[in-house]
Amino acid sequence: MLVLGQDEKAKYPFLADAGEYLKDKGFSLVQFGSDPVLKLSVEKALHRIKVASAGEVYKSDIDKDGQASKDYVLEREVFSFLLAIVLIKLTGMSTLIKRFALAEARRAEIYLEKDLGNASNKSKIDLATRIIYDLFNIEIIKENDFFVIPVSDYLKHSVTFHEREWKLINRHVENGKVFLTPDKTVRLIRKELGNYISSKIINAPKPSMIPGLENAVNELILISKKLTPTYTITTGEYPPCIKHAIDVLEKGENLPHSGRFMLATFLLSKGQTVPQIAPLFKNAPDYNPRVTLYQLNHLAGTSGSATKYSCPSCEKLKTQDLCFITKECNDIINPMQFGKKRT
């Protein structure tokens, strides 16, 4: 992983390891609930989430180069980001994650663009290209005033854009490469940056309640409820067919192709990400990490045919001997409906 300076961590706080950062600074999470100075960071974190949930980008106290007159300002930038994640985790509300991640991605974009466009400072350009390579596996090479990337990488990211300007015909293309300005380069990865940040939040462990943060958490729950759609999950349980498939895999037994297809499409549709699902398959007798990732990405529609596959119907699963119906199944026609009712 990248080694970052304090100012770089302030610009790209999602690259910092939360636990290590706190340890380095000599603090524990609990102190943030009580220490009056540290509480300033909590307030800032709360503000950061509120701004994001309103669909805006939070304005940092650091300047465009990531500099600040005082060290503690930089520190508070990082703290507030890490605490924002803690607060979101404590609310248990997943609706906040997406908005927060997107807003933070937009914020980071500003710095990435500045770093890429910094003609005089090669190390800044290197850092930005390294981040893009490490996170998204896109190799960007600087050529004069432009950044060049392989056409196939460009297409994978640009196809979701609707503006005509993003069509390949409206770019300079030469020898299998697309030429981009710094702002376009960064714009290209906005969505992925957002996804990266949200997967970091989803994967962070949920802490137990920290005394002193209750009010902030409650306030966020209220905000998030206003954003929640009308479907709620009444039981967090998986349907019997899915539980059975997971069981089989955990025992290291063989799950037929159709069973893997069902499990993967089910979990993907539930919003799980490919890196979250992949480990489930590692006990399988024929496990191959590369193939598994490949197949999952394919099902998720993130690669290849770009068709997103959905979970098969109960009827189909019955014919494949994958259905283990119980009365909780309640006449549903697709496992996706298990345990859901309209509110």
Q: Which residues bind another protein (CB under 8 A)?
A: 150-152, 155-156, 158-159, 164-165, 167-177, 257-258, 261, 291, 294-295, 298, 303-307, 309
| Spatial distance between the Cα atoms of 246 and 150, rounded to a whole number of angstroms | 39
Directed axis angle between helix 289-300 and helix 257-269, to 10°? Answer: 60
- Choose from another protein, ligand SF4, none: what does 303 bind? Cβ within 5-8 Å by kind: another protein
Closer to ligand SF4 by CB, 79 or 261: give it: 261
Give the chain's length. Answer: 343
Residues forming contacts to ligand SF4 in the complex (CB under 6 A) are: 239-241, 314, 317, 323-325, 329, 335, 338
Directed axis angle between helix 214-227 and helix 71-91, to 10°? Answer: 60
| Spatial distance between the Cα atoms of 202 and 275, rounded to a whole number of angstroms | 11
- Choose from ligand SF4, another protein, none: what does 298 bind? Cβ within 5-8 Å by kind: another protein
Closer to ligand SF4 by CB, 6 or 337: give it: 337
Tokens of 61: 């106290």
Identify whether the C-beta of residue 239 lies closer than 8 Å to the C-beta of residue 260: no
Residue 295 C-beta: closest distance to another protein, Å: 6
| Spatial distance between the Cα atoms of 90 and 88, rounded to a whole number of angstroms | 5
Closer to another protein by CB, 90 or 264: give it: 264
- Choose from ligand SF4, another protein, none: what does 110 bind? Cβ within 5-8 Å by kind: none
Closer to another protein by CB, 275 or 304: give it: 304
CB proximity list for 171: less than 8 A, separation 6 or greater:
154, 178, 179, 180
Closer to ligand SF4 by CB, 97 or 329: give it: 329
- Choose from another protein, ligand SF4, none: what does 209 bind? Cβ within 5-8 Å by kind: none
Residue 277 C-beta: closest distance to another protein, Å: 16
Closer to another protein by CB, 93 or 140: give it: 140
Identify whether the C-beta of residue 49 lies closer than 8 Å to the C-beta of residue 100: yes
DSSP letters spanning 197-224: HHHHHHHSPPPPPPTT-HHHHHHHHHHH
Residue 338 C-beta: closest distance to ligand SF4, Å: 5
Residue 240 C-beta: closest distance to ligand SF4, Å: 4
- Choose from another protein, ligand SF4, none: what does 190 bind? Cβ within 5-8 Å by kind: none
| Spatial distance between the Cα atoms of 218 and 214, rounded to a whole number of angstroms | 6
Q: Which residues pair with 232 in a beta bridge?
A: 341
Residue 233 C-beta: closest distance to ligand SF4, Å: 15
Identify whether the C-beta of residue 283 lies closer than 8 Å to the C-beta of residue 252: yes
- Choose from another protein, ligand SF4, none: what does 323 bind? Cβ within 5-8 Å by kind: ligand SF4
